[in-house]
Amino acid sequence: MPLKIVQTGERVLRENARRLSIEEIRGDSIQQAIEAMKETMYAAPGVGLAAPQVGLALQLAVIEDKPDYTKDISAEALAARGRRPVPFHVIINPRIVEQRGQAGDFFEGCLSVAGFSAVVPRALNIVVECLNEKAEPVRIQADGWYARILQHEIDHLNGILYIDRMITRSFTTMENFNHYWKDGPAKSW
């Protein structure tokens, strides 16, 4: 059964999440949390879910951008965002160790700020070091939309929401985003 996704205003979304030890990661409690978060992300649906979003102040997030999620987005809009499918994976205790190139401005939404979207500038190329669900070290080189997802989820682990980074003038309801901006460039707002 999916977990409850907490909404902005909950303290856990504004706290620095606690790092996990290797023993904790390999333990049943965290492995069960990962499965529950995966199910919750799919049910939402979303492309990422950080533990604080389900009330757990832990440095843990799940990510997957399924091909199904982009079927209603034009090829031009996908190319402009650098959006490609990303397989399911887990990031634990992540750190952005490198940001390269210029920032890209695109609309983002959040399962914990339900019903809204805004343009958020994010680095287009990043390198993340973290642990996976087996407590193995992983180095991720990401670009485009995948880099944006990683930055968004890592922000959650540090008590930051996209509304802290958004271009305030672009803030909109999802209904208006879908009506006016879904396939257009972010710069047209």
Tens digits of per-residue pLDDT, 77-113?
889 889 999 999 999 999 999 998 889 999 999 999 9
- pLDDT at residue 86, as a whole number: 97
- pLDDT at residue 77, as a whole number: 83
Cβ atoms 51, 88 nearer than 8 A = no
Cβ atoms 150, 142 nearer than 8 A = yes
Q: Nearest-CA neighbor of 94 among 148, 151, 48?
A: 151
| DSSP tally for the chain: helices H, then strands E | 6, 6
Q: With respect to CATH, is domain 11-184 assigned 3.40.710.10?
A: no
pTM: 0.94
Q: Average pLDDT, stretch 54-72?
A: 95
Q: Nearest-CA neighbor of 142 among 74, 86, 79, 60?
A: 86
Q: Average pLDDT, stretch 54-71?
A: 96
CA atoms within 13 A on the CB side of 91: 26
Is residue 10 part of the annotated active site? The answer reads no
Q: In this structure, is the dihedral angle defined by the CA atoms of residues 55, 7, 164 and 100, taken in order, positive or negative? A: positive
Tens digits of per-residue pLDDT, 125-163?
999 999 999 999 999 999 999 999 999 999 999 999 999
Bin 158: left if φ > 0, else alpha if -120 < ψ < 50, else beta: alpha
Catalytic-labelled residue, pool 64, 108, 133, 153 = 153
Q: How confident is the model at residue 186 (pLDDT cuts 50, 70, 90)?
A: low
- pLDDT at residue 82, as a whole number: 92
